[in-house]
Amino acid sequence: MKRLADILTNFLLIISITVLLGILLAPPLFDVTFHVIVGSSMEPTIKLGSVVGLAKISPANVQEGDIIAFTVDQMDIPVTHRVLERIEENGVYRFRTQGDNVEDPDPWIVEPDNILGKVVFAVPYVGRLTQLIKEPLGFILIVGFPATAVVLFQVYELFFKKPQRRARRRQRASEDRTEAYLFLFIGLASVIFLWHVTARNIQPKVLRDLHGFQELEAEGLYQAERRLTNNGNLPLIICLTSDEPGVEFSETHFRLPPKGQKTVQITASSATAQIIAAGYFPLLPEEVLYRLFLWNPELAPLIAVALPILPFVLIGFILLGGLSPRSKRWSHTPRQRRQHRFSA
């Protein structure tokens, strides 16, 4: 019975890891991105908490009735609504949209450059799990607690059981290292997942599209302000930079609490200067995260997640016998040992 339970547990872990890696690898393999629905404006077609798959689409191929995701100026969260009307002017397509659960059309016109993709599928409720993992308690319950329980159980088995049972346990661990490798795969998948979630917090915007944009004629400069909001339940370290020289910020990095908002003043010599903002989980000191952000905004969240998590994963992998040498099966029984001495 115990053997059957172990097989079922390992099977479920493998399936979970396969699904997780499939979600992470789908964007580069199939050119599909994922978006979590945080509102109810598309119910009952798309329920609150669903995860939708977005396929890239040319604005000319968007038809009335299609459901698209797009960005809106002054809004940090993308909108997913149905196309109500196509507007064509000189070969440029713009769109009027409306939510299925909303009585009136949206007050904006969607520009072609703001379209993120067309919704090709929706999986209900999965987004709530994704949001839960982003929260400290959810991550501890779903990822940290099971992994810690496995390691503590193995430590108890190896160091606190009777010597004879401990020897048998070590012998079995040296033969079967499935638990160790599963723990390692879960840890690595968790790092990749958190990197994927954090990397999506990078938001480039052009200065002239920001709030309060104005030209300072006497100085030949442009000024605007960027309003940054933390809609999640975790604190974030917000970092700001620009690829163009001469851009000045009232603050380049700061801590933003959950549901918090802050406005940063920006001055640049060009109205088209691109302002890059990113929010990182405070797993490393604020100054360290900012330096990593300036070095590489995409890789910074990977390093920020990997540094605190990987040591724990490697320790668990070692404790589970992942580096122990395999026992030679001829040495397990007196008969096999006698046969080996005879052949020698």
pLDDT digits (tens, 9 = 90+) for 296-338: 877 788 888 888 888 887 887 777 776 665 544 444 455 554 5
Give the C-alpha separation, 76 to 210, whole Å.
Answer: 12
Residue 20 has pLDDT above 60, yes or no: no
The answer to whether the Cα torsion of 90, 93, 94, 98 is positive or negative is positive
pLDDT tens-digit series, residues 64-112 = 999 999 988 777 688 999 999 999 888 889 999 999 998 899 999 999 9
pLDDT at 173: 47
Per cent of the chain over pLDDT 90 is 18
Amino acid at 232: G
What CATH superfamily is the domain 203-297?
Answer: Immunoglobulins (2.60.40.10)
Say if residue 221's pLDDT is above 60.
yes
Architecture, CATH, for domain 30-126: Ribbon (2.10)
Establish whether the linkage from the previous residue to 44 is cis, with ω within 30° of 0.
yes
In angstroms, the CA 137 to CA 139 distance is 6
pLDDT at 163: 57
H or E element: which one contains 65?
Answer: none
Secondary element (H or E) of residue 286: helix 286-295
| Structural domain spans, the chain | 30-126, 135-201+298-325, 203-297
Question: Global pTM?
Answer: 0.49
Q: Please report the pLDDT score of residue 68 as a whole number.
A: 95
